[in-house]
Structure 1
Amino acid sequence: MADELPYRPRTGDIPTAPGVYRFLGPDGRVLYVGKAKSLRQRLSNYFAPLATLHERTRAMVTSAVDVEWTVVRNETESLQLEYTWIQEFSPPFNVRFKDDKSYPFMVVTLADEAPRVMVSRNTRIRGAKYFGPYPKVWAVSETIDLMVRVFPVRTCNDADYKRAMTTGKPCFAGQIGRCGGPCSGRQTIEQHRRTIDDFVRFMESYDRAFVEDFEQRMRDAAAAQRYEEAASWRDRIAALENVLERSTVVLPDRTDLDLYGIVEDELTASIQLFTVRGGRVRGVRGWVVDKELELDTGTLVQQTLQQVYAHEGHRPASEIVVPVLPDDAEALGTWLGELRSTRVTLRTAQRGPKRELQETATLNAAGALTQYKLKRTADYVARTEALTDIQDALGMDEAPLRIESFDISHLQGTGIVGSMVVFEDGLPKKNHYRRFSIAESRDDTDSMHQVLTRRLAYLREDETAPAATSSPAATDASDATDATDAEAAVVPDKRSRFSYRPQLLLIDGGAPQVAAAQRALDESGVEGIAIAGIAKRLEELWQPGEEFPVILPRGSEALFLLQRVRDEAHRFAITHQRTTRKRGLATQLEDVPGLGPVRVQTLLKHFGSVKRLREADEATLLEAPGFGPTTARAILQVLHGDGGGPAPG
């Protein structure tokens, strides 16, 4: 592969002004659209030596055959032009937003002669007022039912309305008490317009002044002995209180803002938008984003706001709270202000109620991302597609129906452990998981070689000995349950699980770790098993002896499955390493005179973690209940080899 792209423009020919650029494919298709404060600086990054580029950036620039740019006057114009081009060309390497569902809104058709209140997912009704979005259709329908009891407004469709106004016979919804418009015969068009104005004003503010006004009208009617009218006002007050109770106040009254929570990994991001009006959460909405290129959170925020307020036409609030401010936050605020026709402020929440609400939004985003992954995992067709694509990408003779993934975990070279997780038919096989303890190792590649050597010994033995035969290597592995190493060695059923032959060994790491795994496979004499390594962050696949990695499409089911397998191996290794470290420290502390298992557990419980205990000095140790200076110094001696306090670094 040539280290310089043939279409690279001369650096001096690229302007230093702000602008928007496009990478073009062989057929003229726009592959990627981006903006820059300085076109020369940004494009020079893309034309750096190919070996230094992010793998997916390298895939994009090598797929392109040309690059074009347009100079603009300022950052605001670059935002507008970038957005316009992304919508026009749908570049495959730009962020792709996938709304996790189509959200319903409460719509008031203010442009109609007699405005109607209805549920709709169409956000482009001319002259309409929107409230929401709501999480479910039943939620907005229930709100409308309650509100119609308070403000009798029209809910019937246009055909029923015209028929009722022409014939003078109430519409069907009016006959059953579900419509209060002029078509029901209960009020004139002018009276209905005033009712609609009250309806909209309440939905915008949730002002309790309406309750006070209704209470006064109820008392006046009761005083005048108009008891049926007083009962009607009483029922409307009850319905209004019900609406207010369902809309919890989370911020001070009159606070209007849009608040975003974001959770992301290397491939996807989950975004949650909380719409707050009058201090109340009036709507919740979520997206899942496929990240084709490496994308920082600030750029993700910028593109999300463009999607929501420009592409989908939502009116931005005067204040927008985001997890991270993009580099061009000021220009973005100006651009959003033009959409709103008033000033828009972008900020982050550092503390207080807004910070607490953002933590809730972030928690919702994490849950949505988990559900998204589980939904993909549960899809049999998607799993089959993933296994077939892995087979094709790695040049395997058969699909990897059994994948074993390995990871190494340690703490600054101590407490080294390995993990093996198993996926069969794309699903985790947790009772086949295994853990390894490594006494000594030079580095991660040596650790990986040791783990694979010990694991592959089972396959070699399986070809030459009965399945129930035990071996010294059997004590290297333990079941994923609470079973001990010895139990895993002598129970025939557990022994046989460890001897199943995988089609693919997936290594957490790049070329060095893969080479170590291949060396262990060669030494074992076992044949017919493929090896691949998946490197964190770059998410590329490395095969033994190959100069360049395999790049899977960002949104592919194959990459999603391999990432999940790798992450599960990492989680399992970290959990075992922490358990081992805690158990090892407890054993050491029990050698301190006067410390038994109970007092050791008291100490660990007081500090909450091994890390905090290791960072403690003598004064901090004395704060633990029942520990004096002599014991504290003895503990420090065990922890750091001296009595002077925590080790540096």
Structure 2
Amino acid sequence: MAEISQKIKDKLALLPEKPGVYLMKNSSGKIIYVGKSKNLKHRVRSYFSGTPSDNKTMELVAHINDFDYIITTTEVEALLLEANLIKKHKPKYNIFLIDDKQYPFIKISLKEPFPKIEVTRDKKRDGAAYFGPFTDVKAIRKTMRMLEWIFPHRTCNRKIPSGKPVFKRACMNYQMGKCPAPCIGKISEEDYRRIIFNVIRFLKGKNKEVLAQLQEEMKQKSAKLQFEEAAKIRDRINDIRKITFSQNMYFTDDKNRDVIGIYQEGKKAAVAILKILSGRLLNKEIYALDNAEGKSVAELTEAFLKQYYSGKSSTLPYRIFLSEIPSDFPTLNLWLKNKIVVPQRGEMKKLTKMARENAFNFIEEQKLKHLRKSNRTIFPIKELKDKLGLRKLPRKIICLDISTIQGSDTVSSLVFFENGKPKKKNYRRFIIKTVSGQNDFASLAETLTRYLKKIEEPEKPDLIVIDGGKGQLSSAFEILKKSGIEDIEMISLAKRLEEIFLPNKSNSVVLPHSSPSLRLLIKLRDEAHRFAITFHRKRRSARTLTSELDKIKGVGTETKFRLLKEFGSVKNIKKAEINDLMSVKGIGRKLAEKILSELSC
């Protein structure tokens, strides 16, 4: 273990034997770990005595330059504070939930007179009711469609005030029976809110209450001889019953329960929560855990519970079922009001196993996604190596392109792809300096010579792609040989038949148009062409602007630059008003009038 600094030794000597939270900091003062203990003195000192229990802790200790601590009254207080600090600082060495903002919620805008129901990924404290998150996007779409038919409501962005309607026509959803059209006064605010109240109860799993109210409404409509309206309510009742019967019933009471399963594999870990609402399994939430390597499932469970239920003390479920006893179980269970249960047999044991299987499936899906993504980028590169007989895998590829109009303002571009994707910070642009007139061969030679002289190892490509045929390739390959760089290969891609030419080979290689490697080369060439054209246009525009403005007395270099930056072209300046020109620094009314007068000649 590294030598402990005097500053840390002095702090260790002053640590109290009380519960609290400790914050480890690196040399920059950044919090890198947050922990809690019922005895700060013993816990914090343990980091600096003996050998750390695992590599992760060893790495943490090596980076500790300072620490702070906060004393709390009880260990439960320390636990709550620890969870809040981890959420706030996201320390490098803590296990923490990956932000659930990526998952969608169902939002009901309760502060509006006629609340709107929509899907959002941005959960705010705005007085709206939120349900979710939904990790299955298909499930949330299905739920939204179902809500439209069973509980017709608005999904539009119209601002509908209380009282007199302000719109003349309803949208198509009204014609389709998906919206009761509050925008044109077809439903009162009271009746509309009754629908929304039923939606909320339905999403909370309180189907019995919803059915009871709908049955009462159906009776009232029938008594008033409003049989068509009564029939619509009857259909909604039947739809809700179908949904209710299709959901597995685990309890006969109306209490809510969370069933939690965790699966870990190396650095990756996931948590699945099965949400049992009013006795029925209605939703599944899945979260990824960061910094899971080297941690036990018990430690991961503890970390998850602290972060997930932090700030939810008023909405805790009746029971929290776990597949394994978490670390620091007594304190956690006290904080969670003795709601934790770890079933050993029976139906709930099966459910915790099901939750763990869901977490396992999530990890497998993530691995598969990563593999597919990797294959999409690596396969074209591997195919390119195999089909063209290249010496090594061309992970880093550059492509050159020349852009000119009749030999004027000639420029060239160089684009850089790594593992099949553009790496724009490595793009380069060149103004051709030694070539006069239109000479693509000479322009290419200048570009390549200048590039190879300044090339550094991190940016060094495996393959150079030349836009052109045999002639361009031969010219460029001579430059490459003269540079003395031997581990860069070169090919060219001819536009007409998308033929690929290799140095010192008479025959071209023609790949099928469906070939991923050919598509990669075409994408590379097109990007180089786009980049060169864009640069050429900017150069030409700047030159045109400068030449026309040079004639105007009183317009200097700085003013020309400001005009170009503000308006982009002479054409736009000609269209501008005097006041527009006067908004440019250094241009008064007289000069503005003079510019417009001179340019209009």
Relative to the length of structure 2, the TM-score reads 0.56
Could you say which residue in structure 1 is the equivalent of 2:174? Answer: 174
Deviations 1:55-101 (A, max 9, x none): 22111111222232222211122123222332333211111433688
Could you say which residue in structure 1 is the equivalent of 2:439? Answer: none
Taking structure 1 as reference, are residues 212 and 255 closer, same or farther at Cα in structure 2, changes over 3 Å only? closer
Q: Distance in 2 between matches of 1:344 and 1:182?
A: 47
Specify the code of the residue in structure 1 equivalent to 2:275: T
* RMSD of aligned Cα (Å): 3.7
Taking structure 1 as reference, are residues 83 and 221 closer, same or farther at Cα in structure 2, changes over 3 Å only? closer
Could you say which residue in structure 2 is the equivalent of 1:358? Answer: 352
Could you say which residue in structure 1 is the equivalent of 2:38? Answer: 37
Residue pair 1:182, 1:188 contacting (<8 A) in 2 also = yes
Could you say which residue in structure 2 is the equivalent of 1:200? Answer: 200
Specify the code of the residue in structure 2 equivalent to 1:32: Y
Specify the code of the residue in structure 1 equivalent to 2:81: L
- Secondary structure at the residue paired with 2:165? helix
Q: Distance in 1 between matches of 2:311 and 2:201?
A: 27
Taking structure 1 as reference, are residues 55 and 226 closer, same or farther at Cα in structure 2, changes over 3 Å only? closer
**1:138 deviation in Å?**
3.8
Taking structure 1 as reference, are residues 208 and 281 closer, same or farther at Cα in structure 2, changes over 3 Å only? same
Taking structure 1 as reference, are residues 107 and 353 closer, same or farther at Cα in structure 2, changes over 3 Å only? farther
**1:286 deviation in Å?**
1.2
Could you say which residue in structure 2 is the equivalent of 1:537? Answer: none
Whether 2:245 is the aligned partner of 1:251: answer: no
Whether 2:263 is the aligned partner of 1:263: answer: yes
Taking structure 1 as reference, are residues 6 and 140 closer, same or farther at Cα in structure 2, changes over 3 Å only? same
Residue pair 1:221, 1:229 contacting (<8 A) in 2 also = yes
**1:125 deviation in Å?**
4.7
Residue pair 2:24, 2:31 contacting (<8 A) in 1 also = yes
- Secondary structure at the residue paired with 1:31? strand
Could you say which residue in structure 1 is the equivalent of 2:84? Answer: 84
Taking structure 1 as reference, are residues 59 and 209 closer, same or farther at Cα in structure 2, changes over 3 Å only? closer
- Secondary structure at the residue paired with 2:144? helix
Could you say which residue in structure 1 is the equivalent of 2:299? Answer: 299
- Secondary structure at the residue paired with 2:113? coil
Residue pair 1:103, 1:134 contacting (<8 A) in 2 also = yes
- Secondary structure at the residue paired with 1:166? coil
**1:36 deviation in Å?**
0.8
Taking structure 1 as reference, are residues 298 and 184 closer, same or farther at Cα in structure 2, changes over 3 Å only? farther
Q: Distance in 2 between matches of 1:213 and 1:97?
A: 40
Q: Percent identity?
A: 27
Specify the code of the residue in structure 1 equivalent to 2:80: Q
Specify the code of the residue in structure 2 equivalent to 1:98: I
Taking structure 1 as reference, are residues 2 and 185 closer, same or farther at Cα in structure 2, changes over 3 Å only? closer
**1:8 deviation in Å?**
4.7
Equivalent residues in 2 for 1:274-423, closer than 5 Å: 274-291=274-291, 294-310=294-310, 315-333=315-333, 335=335, 345-380=339-374
Equivalent residues in 2 for 1:505-524, closer than 5 Å: none
Q: Distance in 2 between matches of 1:345 and 1:303?
A: 17
Whether 2:47 is the aligned partner of 1:46: answer: yes
Q: Distance in 1 between matches of 2:57 and 2:312?
A: 29
Deviations 1:327-358 (A, max 9, x none): 4445445555xxxxxx5622222333222211
Q: Distance in 2 between matches of 1:179 and 1:189?
A: 14
Taking structure 1 as reference, are residues 292 and 276 closer, same or farther at Cα in structure 2, changes over 3 Å only? closer
- Secondary structure at the residue paired with 1:306? helix
Equivalent residues in 2 for 1:595-634, closer than 5 Å: none
Deviations 1:535-559 (A, max 9, x none): xxxxxxxxxxxxxxxxxxxxxxxxx
Residue pair 2:302, 2:327 contacting (<8 A) in 1 also = no
Residue pair 1:75, 1:328 contacting (<8 A) in 2 also = no
Residue pair 1:16, 1:39 contacting (<8 A) in 2 also = yes
Taking structure 1 as reference, are residues 47 and 103 closer, same or farther at Cα in structure 2, changes over 3 Å only? same
**1:298 deviation in Å?**
3.4
Residue pair 2:257, 2:277 contacting (<8 A) in 1 also = yes
- Secondary structure at the residue paired with 2:102? coil
Specify the code of the residue in structure 1 equivalent to 2:14: D
Deviations 1:3-44 (A, max 9, x none): 766655266532211111122211111221111111122123
**1:376 deviation in Å?**
3.1
**1:364 deviation in Å?**
0.8
Could you say which residue in structure 1 is the equivalent of 2:238? Answer: 238
Q: Distance in 2 between matches of 1:12 and 1:135?
A: 48
- Secondary structure at the residue paired with 2:193? helix
Residue pair 1:30, 1:91 contacting (<8 A) in 2 also = yes
Residue pair 1:318, 1:345 contacting (<8 A) in 2 also = yes
Could you say which residue in structure 1 is the equivalent of 2:26? Answer: 25
**1:176 deviation in Å?**
3.7
Q: Distance in 1 between matches of 2:88 and 2:224?
A: 66
Specify the code of the residue in structure 2 equivalent to 1:357: L
Could you say which residue in structure 1 is the equivalent of 2:139? Answer: 139
Q: Distance in 1 between matches of 2:188 and 2:216?
A: 24
Q: Distance in 1 between matches of 2:181 and 2:265?
A: 51
Which range moves more in the overlay, 247-256 or 278-287? 247-256
**1:365 deviation in Å?**
0.8
Could you say which residue in structure 1 is the equivalent of 2:15? Answer: 14
Which range moves more in the overlay, 217-226 or 287-296? 217-226
Q: Distance in 1 between matches of 2:375 and 2:4?
A: 41
Residue pair 1:96, 1:291 contacting (<8 A) in 2 also = yes
Q: Distance in 2 between matches of 1:216 and 1:71?
A: 57
Q: Distance in 1 between matches of 2:244 and 2:224?
A: 29
Taking structure 1 as reference, are residues 27 and 175 closer, same or farther at Cα in structure 2, changes over 3 Å only? same
**1:127 deviation in Å?**
1.8
Equivalent residues in 2 for 1:144-223, closer than 5 Å: 144-159=144-159, 165-180=165-180, 182-183=182-183, 185-208=185-208, 210-211=210-211, 214=214
- Secondary structure at the residue paired with 1:272? strand
Residue pair 2:108, 2:115 contacting (<8 A) in 1 also = yes
Gapped regions of structure 1 (runs ≥ 5): 337-342, 385-397, 402-424, 426-649
Q: Distance in 2 between matches of 1:313 and 1:173?
A: 40
Which range moves more in the overlay, 34-43 or 84-93? 84-93
Gapped regions of structure 2 (runs ≥ 5): 379-391, 396-418, 420-601
**1:363 deviation in Å?**
0.7
Taking structure 1 as reference, are residues 218 and 173 closer, same or farther at Cα in structure 2, changes over 3 Å only? closer
Deviations 1:556-604 (A, max 9, x none): xxxxxxxxxxxxxxxxxxxxxxxxxxxxxxxxxxxxxxxxxxxxxxxxx
The structure with the larger Rg is: 2
Q: Distance in 1 between matches of 2:94 and 2:314?
A: 22
Residue pair 1:152, 1:180 contacting (<8 A) in 2 also = yes
Taking structure 1 as reference, are residues 101 and 314 closer, same or farther at Cα in structure 2, changes over 3 Å only? farther
Specify the code of the residue in structure 2 equivalent to 1:272: A
Specify the code of the residue in structure 1 equivalent to 2:346: G
Specify the code of the residue in structure 2 equivalent to 1:279: G
Deviations 1:88-132 (A, max 9, x none): 332111114336883222222222212222222222252222333
Could you say which residue in structure 2 is the equivalent of 1:605? Answer: none
**1:311 deviation in Å?**
7.6
**1:209 deviation in Å?**
5.7
Residue pair 2:84, 2:310 contacting (<8 A) in 1 also = no
Specify the code of the residue in structure 2 equivalent to 1:63: H
Q: Distance in 2 between matches of 1:202 and 1:140?
A: 14
- Secondary structure at the residue paired with 1:310? coil
Q: Distance in 1 between matches of 2:314 and 2:275?
A: 11
Specify the code of the residue in structure 1 equivalent to 2:113: E
- Secondary structure at the residue paired with 1:372? helix
Residue pair 1:16, 1:41 contacting (<8 A) in 2 also = yes
- Secondary structure at the residue paired with 1:371? helix
Could you say which residue in structure 2 is the equivalent of 1:624? Answer: none
Could you say which residue in structure 2 is the equivalent of 1:510? Answer: none
Taking structure 1 as reference, are residues 367 and 189 closer, same or farther at Cα in structure 2, changes over 3 Å only? same
